[in-house]
């Protein structure tokens, strides 16, 4: 299973998964999904971990993710066209997205660990699921 499918299946509300996957898979509809990431409200709260305001810097978030087993590489789904669909180093990804104001989903371990960056500082969450 690819990063995007695993991320959506693990962390998006069940009633919203099929539509999200359909939008991501279709080039024309993908942009609509990406634009929704600015204020994305379809993440399943059972797997969303708030990040304390004092810990909302790229370096600290990197540490929190690596302590949970994140690999060095990650996959990005982002409203920023320069980042969307790329696999890059997790440290580089976080340096680019934290505080950017672009909606971004970061897949660290497919279906198990990720990160969400929304438009405002309060919209930063670790996404973790121990069993798919």
Length of the chain: 132
Cβ–Cβ < 8 Å for 16, 44: no
Work out the burial of residue 64: count CB atoms within 10 Å of its CB; fewer than 13 is exposed, 13-18 middle, 19 or more buried: middle
pTM: 0.94
Could you give the 3-state DSSP secondary structure of residue 13?
Answer: coil
pLDDT in tens, 101-113: 899 999 999 999 9
In whole angstroms, give the CA distance from residue 77 to residue 116: 10
In whole angstroms, give the CA distance from residue 110 to residue 4: 8
User: What is the predicted pLDDT for the residue at 131?
Assistant: 66
pLDDT in tens, 5-57: 999 999 999 999 999 999 999 988 999 999 999 888 999 999 999 999 999 99
């Amino acid at each position: 299973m690819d990063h995007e499918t695993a991320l959506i299946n693990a962390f998006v509300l069940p009633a919203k998964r099929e539509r999200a996957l359909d939008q991501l898979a279709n080039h024309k509809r993908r942009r609509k999904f990406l634009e929704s990431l600015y204020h994305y409200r379809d993440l399943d709260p059972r797997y969303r971990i708030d990040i304390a305001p004092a810990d909302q810097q790229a370096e600290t978030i990197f540490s929190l993710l690596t302590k949970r087993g994140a690999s060095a590489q990650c996959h990005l789904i982002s409203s920023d066209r320069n980042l969307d669909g790329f696999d890059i180093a997790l440290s580089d990804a976080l340096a680019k997205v934290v505080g950017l104001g672009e909606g971004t989903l970061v897949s660290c371990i497919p279906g198990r660990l990720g990160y969400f960056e929304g438009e405002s500082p309060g919209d930063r969450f670790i996404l973790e699921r121990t069993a798919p």
